Chains A and B, each alone.
Chain A
Amino acid sequence: MTSTSSPSRKALSKIACNRLQKELVEWQVSPPAGFKHKVTDNLQRWVVEVVGAPGTLYASETYQLQVDFPEHYPMEAPQVIFLHPAPLHPHIYSNGHICLDILYDSWSPAMTVSSVCISILSMLSSSTVKQRPADNDRYVKNCRNGRSPKETRWWFHDDKV
């Protein structure tokens, strides 16, 4: 699904609230391995701490993901970015934007924050080199006006990393 509506501008719909509360409860019962939800009273913006998996390039490094939910979550994808400093990775831009298809075109309402987190960790874990995407500078410059990654027309590089 694509959507250009900016997250966190409009309040969550009732459906979105119900679903997020269920997700939160589920998370507290069985959080995905390697992730910690930093509790706030803001249901519409989650900050999730992620620890690099052992035996990978990012082992024991800690990063923070910011997840913003749109009004019509889960029909529309959440906006997920890394807070500064973003990990050095061929699909993660220095402004925290992540090139991962399930966050944009391949989002499905049957996915959850938890399943997204697992995908991101798996993307980190499979990286063989710590470097920025080749077009990092150009892309980051173009985003200076505060553009959401959901407004980008992503061209998904490959599914190996």
Chain B
Amino acid sequence: MRSEDDTHDANDLDYIDDDFVDNESDDEDGYYDFLDNDESDDRQQQNYIILSEADIQHHQEEDINRVSTILSLPRAAACSLLRHYNWIVSRVTDEWFADEENTRRVVGLLEKKPIEMPNSPELTCGICFEDYPRDRMNSTACGHPFCSVCWRAYIGTSIRDGPGWALSLRCPDPSCGVAVGQDMVNLLATDEDKEKYSRYLLRSYVEDNKKIKWCPGRGCDYAVEFVLGSGSYDVCCNCSYGFCWNCTEEAHRPVDCSTVAKWMLKNSSESANMNWISANSKPCPKCERPIEKDHGCMHMTCTPPCKFEFCWLCLGAWSDHGESTGGFYACNRYEAAKQEGTYDESENRREMAKKSLERYTHYYERWATNESSRQKALVDLHSMQTEKLEKLSDIQSLPALQLKFTTEAWLQIVECRRVLKWTYAYGFYLPEHERAKRQFFEYLQGEAESGLELLHQCAEKELQVYLDEESPSKHFDDFLTKLANLTSVTRNYFENLVRALETGLKDVEAIDQQATCSRASSSKTMDGKGRGSGPSDSMDDTNHWLCDLCTYANLKSSNICQMCQQRRS
């Protein structure tokens, strides 16, 4: 079998480098390309199975029966064993045959009754200490007697405490430890608790099983079993939600799981807000409450009860300002300090925070906009499938089957918006100093964006013309061909883009190194300014490192982020 690398390694970048959508050469070629494209089918081969609740129950029952048969144990005991060893049948049998006695002890399965009850007609319940006739007492294999009222309450309490408690319940006797299985629950618990217990058991089969995960889609009851070690983690559930099986975030190729986690954390965490506050506000020098200044003069008055009057620039008391500071409205304490290059470290910090915030906002906005475009495209896709397709088929007198390109186009748009969205998280974490890579990445991203716009426009606006017509149009066939071509070209482009980004644009690396070398040698002559390091130069990567969490540019000399206290990685 050819490896994926082989298939796209050499041609990949030429492939992408080709003019993206060349209208002149927009002929049949693209179309055949699309039909011949078996490479993508290769990759999309399913490496997962979607399980409905009935499927899960069926699998679980099969496993329980297998263990019960192999070890000649009752169903409830097999169930406790499987649940203890995370539903791995082979693990259960291995442990059992390696050391049955120990396995029995760990899971709480006894071979024989360890205690003998006195032969009296009445027994004392070990919980309420009341005496009851024997036939009203119950016990697990160990024989410790408890009355049915106490059993019901005991099981009920464990179920309220959650699956972790209920499914590993043991005999109430502190010295005992014999498992209380589903047989006891069904015998003694209330109907509501029996129902809850069996739900817990079903959930456990998914949640304690390393190969199966619930679909995180809203209101979705399916689970997805993944064949480990088989390429991409992206799965698409029957509920149409696409997600990454590994991290259960929504599907995020070409970005890897850890980048997604970082990005989502960044979006949700306070760190962005902290940066904003730091960039746009200063603490009142007296009461230390943050004060935001949007515009206006430098004379600040803190809100009551503080009412401290101070200068925004130097944070000194306003009363100190006057002719000595260059006039009330021109605090040269700040200017002078800035010229000397000794101005306050915290001022420096605010500058940088503002810069990194602007940078983040740039990527975040584009990431979020593509997501809303994707949502819109999903709605459009739906309306295409439910109403427009039929209408179009009527007007153009073509069978709906021949119009499948329109649906395919919309599916492609949805997918492209998703990819494009994640390229912004990718771009955000692409190191500043890998200049050639960044340039190339931005070029690819730009091309992808404009190509997608063409397709989007074709599927949205140009199609509308044919929907508004009364009778079949002779141009409609041409339109369909064009739409199919655009879809195919866009699909290829995006697939290659995804692969190129997933391999970390490694083809650029060589070029990048050369580029930095030549730049370094020429910088003396080009730069010429020597040590003229203004604020913009202070962002230079040689003196700073970017915090992984909040992206604040810290001085090389410190190992802890000044903004969020994160350790330098």
Chain A residues proximal to chain B, CB less than 8 Å: 1-3, 15, 18-19, 22-23, 26, 72, 74-76, 102, 106, 108-111, 115
Chain B's closest residue to A105 (CB) is B165
A97 CB, nearest partner CB in chain B, Å: 21
| Contacts A/B (CB < 8 Å), 12 sampled | A3-B161, A19-B129, A74-B127, A102-B174, A108-B172, A108-B173, A109-B127, A109-B154, A109-B172, A110-B146, A110-B173, A115-B174
* Complex alpha-carbon distance, A138 and B156, angstroms: 36
A109 and chain B: residue at smallest CB distance: B127
Contacts of B165 in A (CB 8 A): 1-2
B residues sitting closer than 8 Å to A (CB atoms) are: 126-130, 144, 146, 149-150, 153-154, 156-158, 161, 165, 172-174
Q: Are B154 and A75 interface neighbours, CB within 8 A? A: yes
Q: Are A75 and B174 in contact (CB under 8 A)?
A: no
A3 CA to B153 CA, complexed, in Å: 14
A19 touches B128 (CB 8 A): yes
Determine how close the nearest CB of chain B comes to the CB of A120; give it in whole angstroms.
15
User: Contact at B157–A18, with CB atoms within 8 Å?
Assistant: no
Contacts of B157 in A (CB 8 A): 1, 72, 75-76
For A18, A19, A102, the residue with the greatest tally of chain B CB atoms inside 10 Å of its CB is A19
CA distance A28 to B165 in the complex (A): 35
Q: Are A109 and B129 in contact (CB under 8 A)?
A: no
Cβ–Cβ < 8 Å partners of A26 in chain B? 129
Complex: A26 Cα to B149 Cα, angstroms: 22
Find A110's partner among B126, B130, B158, B161 (CB 8 Å cutoff).
Answer: B126
> Do A109 and B158 have beta carbons less than 8 Å apart?
no
CA distance A3 to B128 in the complex (A): 19
Residue of B nearest to A102 (CB): B174
CB contact under 8 A between A110 and B128, given known A75-B153, A76-B157: no
Question: Contact at A22–B129, with CB atoms within 8 Å?
Answer: yes
Interfacial chain A residues near B144, Cβ < 8 Å: 110
How far is B149's CA from A1's CA once the two chains are assembled, in angstroms? Answer: 18
Q: Contact between A15 and B126 (Cβ–Cβ < 8 Å)?
A: no
Asked if B174 contacts A1 (CB within 8 A), the reply is no
Whether B174 contacts A108 by the Cβ 8 Å rule is: yes
In whole Å, how far is B2's beta carbon from the nearest beta carbon of chain A? 52
A1, B127: Cβ atoms under 8 Å? no
When chains A and B are docked, how far (Å) is the Cα of A1 from the Cα of B162?
Answer: 10
Give the complex CA separation of A26 and B129 in angstroms. 11
Which residues of chain B have C-beta atoms less than 8 A from A19's C-beta? Answer: 127-129
Q: How far is the CA of A25 from the CA of B42 in the complex (A)?
A: 77
Query: Considering the chains assembled together, what is the distance between the CA atoms of A74 and B153 in angstroms?
Result: 10
A3 to B174: give the CA distance in the assembly, Å: 18
A60 to B547 alpha-carbon distance, docked (Å): 59
Q: Return chain B residues, CB-CB under 8 Å to A23.
A: 129
Q: Top 3 closest A-B pairs, CB basis?
A: A110-B172, A75-B157, A110-B126
